[in-house]
């Protein structure tokens, strides 16, 4: 939830700004490997439970074309061990055309994998 720290450690989601509360709109700058300039999204927070869940939903161009819901989940395993889970689901009329582009899907998975690795490295310093 420390949005201000993202540029210091996150290679994929390099900037998030906005108020962390349900219903708030965020400004999210992402730098996927296939996009040289990066992408700015403006999703709305749909679920928020501090230290457990942050879920947002956004649309590309207009709602219904390509909507994406992304969740960041933290689960306490035991003691000082935490499991970090990311979930992404897409809906909209452009899905049949987007899913045909396997390279974008693989690139997205690699970019989130890079983010996960960076977060693990940061967490292990504590």
DSSP letter assigned to residue 75: E
| Total count of domains within the chain | 1
Q: Is 70 exposed, middle or buried (CB count within 10 Å of its CB: 0-12, 13-18, 19+)? A: buried
Average pLDDT, the chain: 88
Give residue 106's pLDDT band: very low, low, confident or very high (50, 70, 90).
confident
So what's the pLDDT on residue 104? 61
Query: What is the structure's pLDDT at 103?
Result: 59
Q: What are phi and psi of 96, to 5 degrees?
A: -60, -30
Share of the chain above pLDDT 70, in %: 94
Q: Are 44 and 37 in contact (CB under 8 A)?
A: no
CA distance 40 to 124: 29
In this model, does residue 105 exceed pLDDT 80? no
Closest CA to 108 of 98, 96, 93, 118: 98
pLDDT digits (tens, 9 = 90+) for 19-34: 999 999 999 999 887 7
8: containing domain:
3-124
pLDDT tens for each residue of 33-91: 777 888 899 999 999 999 999 999 998 888 888 888 999 999 999 888 889 999 988 88
Domain CATH code at residue 76: 3.30.530.20
């Amino acid at each position: 939830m420390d949005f201000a720290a993202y540029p210091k450690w996150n290679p994929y989601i390099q900037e998030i700004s906005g108020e962390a509360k349900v219903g708030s709109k965020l400004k999210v700058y992402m730098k996927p490997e296939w996009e040289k300039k990066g992408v700015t999204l403006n999703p709305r927070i749909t679920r928020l439970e501090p230290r457990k869940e942050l879920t947002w939903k956004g649309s590309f161009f207009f709602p219904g074309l390509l909507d994406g819901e992304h969740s960041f989940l933290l689960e306490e395993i035991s003691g000082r061990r935490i499991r970090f889970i990311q979930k992404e689901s897409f809906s909209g009329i452009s899905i049949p055309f987007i899913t045909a582009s396997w390279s974008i899907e693989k690139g997205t998975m690699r970019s989130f994998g890079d983010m996960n690795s960076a977060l693990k490295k940061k967490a292990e310093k504590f």
